[in-house]
Structure formats: C-alpha cells, structure tokens
C-alpha cells in the first residue's frame, strides 16, 4: 500500500504581514497555488504603515474570483508586554509567526497542509507534495515534515543544527502541525499548558530560532520523543525518520525572502541569487 494525495486533501496556510507588496495578493500566485491545493487560508496581521485601502481592494478581488476557496483571517496579536516569555516572543518576530500559523491551522479542515509566507511565492508546489508522499511511503505510520531547503540544516546531524528545518515552506498532516504550533504558542505565552514546558531551557536559548523551534515542537508534541537525552543521542535516526526537504529550485519560478538580512532569493528577479542547492552528502 502506498499513499498519494489529491489536491482536495490539501490546504495552504499562508501567514505573515499583509500589505500592498504581499505576493499572496498577486492573482497569478494564487492561481498557481490552486493547481496543487483545494483551499488557501491567509492568516495575517497589518501594520500602521500598510496601505489598507489598496490591500482591501486586492483581498476583495481575490474573494470575488475564488469565493470561499480563499479565506483571509486578520489576527489581533497579543501585545508582547502581555506575554510571559518575551525574550522568545521577540526573537525574529517568533510569536507573531507562530500565532498566525496556528490561527490558520485552526481553520484548516483538510488532512494535509502546506505552510507558506505572504511575502514569498512558488510557481509549482507539486514536487513538494510528491516528495512528501514518497517520504511517507517509506513508513506509512510515520509522522513527518518535508520542508523547502532554504535554511534547512537538519541533515548535518549535529546538536547545533538538530531538527533545523526550513520555517518558510513545509508540508505535513494538519493535525500534527496543529499540535506543534499550539504547544509552541502556549509555551511562549507561559500559560503552563504546553507539553514543551519542561523544555523551556532549550527554547530559551538564543540560538533556538523558528526553524529549530518547529522541529523540536513537532517531535515533542507528537510524542515522538520522551526526553532531551533521547533528542540529543538519536539526532540522525530521528531526522532521517521524520524530516526531509525539497529543493525549491525544483518548484518552478520562486521568490523567497530573508528579511532580517535584507535579502531576496529568486530565479526570476534581476540582481537576485537563487537558493543554493542543498546536498545531503555535503555535511
């Protein structure tokens, strides 16, 4: 028995800041996404600088074309001063990123979900879906994430890079992602309900960015590990079983952003470099 995934079984959760420059508001980007998925959920926040009139017009246009197949969720984020672990929340805008993803996942009613960002675009997501299917077919009972290769470091099998997937683009079962992001958000808020609470020392480390946070939470939240000792001693086995990546250069035309460094990676925009191919053997 092998699995294959029909587009009717997949939704996209597209999260991030929504402004007049957001690529998810481009009709061509939306149309390309719908070649691989059945529904798009845009879970976003605005800033005072956003040109809300222009954004509203683009949102309305998308809804007129696609109807209830595309949903926009405007999130009121919890103020940082009301969050217990502020040092984690403020690390690369971590809380807003995790919360907007979580709010989108809560509206996702398909078995599988692809997470993308509002400021990025991929022409063809089918290779990501196909890679996930082939990975799952190695072990139909496994719980797994397949991400893009931008910032993917997990293949190095070291504690420094342990479970360091890409937080920009990934696919998994919706219920498994929901558990991971619920626990991450609850940990940051400090409401003492998170399965991650006993791992607060690891999540408080300044080197624990969004990428590792998602990987760690996925393993812990889905009961794939039971201690930090297991996570540190079985890095290679756990990584091989639960994580893999697809090269975004196989996804047609794309635009990816590294905002904190002010960089844009693309194979179509002038003066931009493509993302380097990740080689599993090059560790």
Helix axes 174-189, 94-106, angle to 10 degrees: 140
Average pLDDT over residues 158-178: 96
What pLDDT is stored for residue 94 in this prediction?
A: 77
Helix axes 210-221, 174-189, angle to 10 degrees: 110
- Average pLDDT over all residues of the chain: 90
Distance CA 236, CA 106 (A): 31
Distance CA 91, CA 155 (A): 24
Question: Facing residues of 192 across strands?
Answer: none
Distance CA 134, CA 252 (A): 20
What CA–CA distances, in Å, run from 145 to 30, 205, 209, 267?
23, 23, 17, 25
Q: Give the helix ranges, DSSP H, for the chain.
A: 27-33, 52-66, 86-89, 94-106, 126-136, 174-189, 200-204, 210-221, 228-233, 235-242
Model confidence band, residue 149 (pLDDT cutoffs 50, 70, 90) = very high
Q: Are 241 and 112 in contact (CB under 8 A)?
A: no
CA neighbor of 40 nearest in space, from 21, 5, 13, 20: 13
Query: 157: alpha, beta or left, given left = phi > 0 and alpha = psi -120 to 50?
Result: left
Q: Which residue has the higher pLDDT, 283 or 138?
A: 138
What pLDDT is stored for residue 279 in this prediction?
A: 66
What CA–CA distances, in Å, run from 111 to 38, 138, 224?
11, 19, 20
Query: Is pLDDT above 50 for 283?
Result: no
pTM: 0.94
Q: Which helix (H) or strand (E) holds 282?
A: none
Model confidence band, residue 92 (pLDDT cutoffs 50, 70, 90) = low
What pLDDT is stored for residue 59 in this prediction?
A: 92
Could you read off the pLDDT of 33-53 as tens digits, one per residue? 999 999 999 999 876 666 678
Q: Which residue has the higher pLDDT, 102 or 77?
A: 102
Q: Which residue has the higher pLDDT, 90 or 267?
A: 267
Q: Are 131 and 251 in contact (CB under 8 A)?
A: no
Q: Are 173 and 143 in contact (CB under 8 A)?
A: yes
What pLDDT is stored for residue 141 in this prediction?
A: 84
Helix axes 210-221, 94-106, angle to 10 degrees: 40
Average pLDDT over residues 130-154: 93
Query: Is pLDDT above 90 for 108?
Result: yes
């Amino acid at each position: 028995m092998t699995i294959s995934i029909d587009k009717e079984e997949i939704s996209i959760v597209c999260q991030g800041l929504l402004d007049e420059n957001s690529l998810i508001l481009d009709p061509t980007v939306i149309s390309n996404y719908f070649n691989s998925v059945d529904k798009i959920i845009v879970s976003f926040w605005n800033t005072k600088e956003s040109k809300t009139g222009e954004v509203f017009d683009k949102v309305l246009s998308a809804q007129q074309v696609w109807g209830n197949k595309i949903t926009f969720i405007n999130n009121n984020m919890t103020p940082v001063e009301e969050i217990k672990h502020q040092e984690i929340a403020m690390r690369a805008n971590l809380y807003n990123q995790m919360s907007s993803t979580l709010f989108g996942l809560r509206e996702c009613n398909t078995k599988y979900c692809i997470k993308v960002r509002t400021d990025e675009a991929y022409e063809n997501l089918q290779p990501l879906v196909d890679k996930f299917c082939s990975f799952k077919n190695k072990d139909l009972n496994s719980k797994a994430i397949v991400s893009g290769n931008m910032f993917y470091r997990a293949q190095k099998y070291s504690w420094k890079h342990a479970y360091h997937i890409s937080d920009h683009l990934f696919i998994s079962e919706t219920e498994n992602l929901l558990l991971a992001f619920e626990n991450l958000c609850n940990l940051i808020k400090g409401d003492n309900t998170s399965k991650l609470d006993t791992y607060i020392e690891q999540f408080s480390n300044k080197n624990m960015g969004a990428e590792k946070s998602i990987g760690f939470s996925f393993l812990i939240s889905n009961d794939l590990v039971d201690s930090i000792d297991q996570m540190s001693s079985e890095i290679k086995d756990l990584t091989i079983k639960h994580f893999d990546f697809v090269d975004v250069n196989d996804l047609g035309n794309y635009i990816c952003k590294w905002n904190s460094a002010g960089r844009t990676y693309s194979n179509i925009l002038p003066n931009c470099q493509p993302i380097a191919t990740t080689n599993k053997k090059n560790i």
